[in-house]
């Protein structure tokens, strides 16, 4: 009887050990299968190959903050530079500049866009509320100013710059005063509820006129 009991006990222990071994092997197999089936992290993509949300966010951010460029000529040389959107400190407008220019306050109600390489070359920016007859009154005032700075009241119409068109502006007037080597160009622009007056002080050697016109056309 004692011998049978020992045999039974030995057999039972053997079965328990074998069962335990089998259980460990199944657990190991299961863990291996889970590891094989787990999604693998990849740079910029999830398991389906689509960009991860964080990568998409970064991409969207880059697209939002990426700068556009402004193309223009200075002294006949072509440039295409990234723009810097700049808000006037006193007047209600923004303008797109490049690193060759800066915006400063000339006096109350008048800003200057200044060419860094020659700070005598500037474009004055003035803005006015578009009220009844405001454009006509400003046009008369502008002509008086042109007469005052010209020789023998001589100023001429300035050809409509390609940067401006009547799809964006309801009215455009443009004039030029020419000296031996210098020039002053005045543009009066009506745009929605805003009237913009640009006065360019340039010379024929430095010749930043095209750049100033491109910049002026970005005023919003």
Confidence at residue 76, expressed as pLDDT on a 0 to 100 scale: 95
Placement of tokens 């006949």 in the chain: 76
Average pLDDT, rounded, for the chain: 78
What pLDDT, in 10s, does the model give residues 64-109?
333 599 999 999 999 999 999 999 999 999 999 999 999 999 999 9
Confidence at residue 60, expressed as pLDDT on a 0 to 100 scale: 37
Burial of residue 130 (CB within 10 Å: 0-12, 13-18, 19+) is: middle
Greatest C-alpha distance within the chain: 140
Closest by Cα among 169, 147, 167, 164 to 156: 147
Distance of alpha carbon 203 from alpha carbon 119, whole angstroms: 12
The pTM of the full predicted model, rounded to 2 decimals, is: 0.69
Q: β-pairing, 182-191 with 101-107?
A: unpaired
What pLDDT, in 10s, does the model give residues 138-180?
999 999 999 999 988 899 999 987 878 778 899 999 999 999 9
């Amino acid at each position: 009887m004692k011998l049978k009991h020992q045999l039974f006990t030995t057999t039972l222990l053997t079965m328990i050990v074998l069962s335990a071994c089998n259980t460990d092997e199944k657990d190991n197999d299961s863990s291996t299968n889970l590891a094989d089936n787990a999604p693998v992290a990849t740079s910029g993509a999830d398991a389906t190959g689509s960009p991860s949300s964080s990568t998409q966010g970064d991409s969207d951010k880059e697209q939002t903050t990426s700068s556009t460029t402004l193309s223009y000529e200075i002294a006949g040389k072509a440039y295409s530079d990234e723009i810097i959107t700049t808000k006037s400190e006193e007047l209600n407008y923004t303008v797109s500049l490049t690193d060759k220019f800066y915006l400063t306050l000339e006096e109350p109600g008048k800003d200057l866009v200044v060419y860094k390489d020659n700070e005598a070359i500037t474009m004055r920016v003035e803005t006015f509320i578009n009220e009844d007859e405001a454009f006509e009154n400003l046009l008369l005032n502008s002509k008086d100013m042109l007469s005052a700075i010209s020789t023998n009241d001589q100023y001429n119409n300035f050809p409509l710059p390609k940067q401006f068109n009547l799809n964006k502006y309801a009215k455009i007037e443009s004039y030029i005063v020419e000296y031996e080597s210098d020039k002053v160009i005045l543009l009066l622009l009506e745009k929605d509820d805003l009237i913009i007056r640009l006065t360019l002080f340039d010379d024929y050697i430095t010749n930043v006129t095209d750049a100033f016109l491109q910049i002026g056309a970005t005023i919003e």
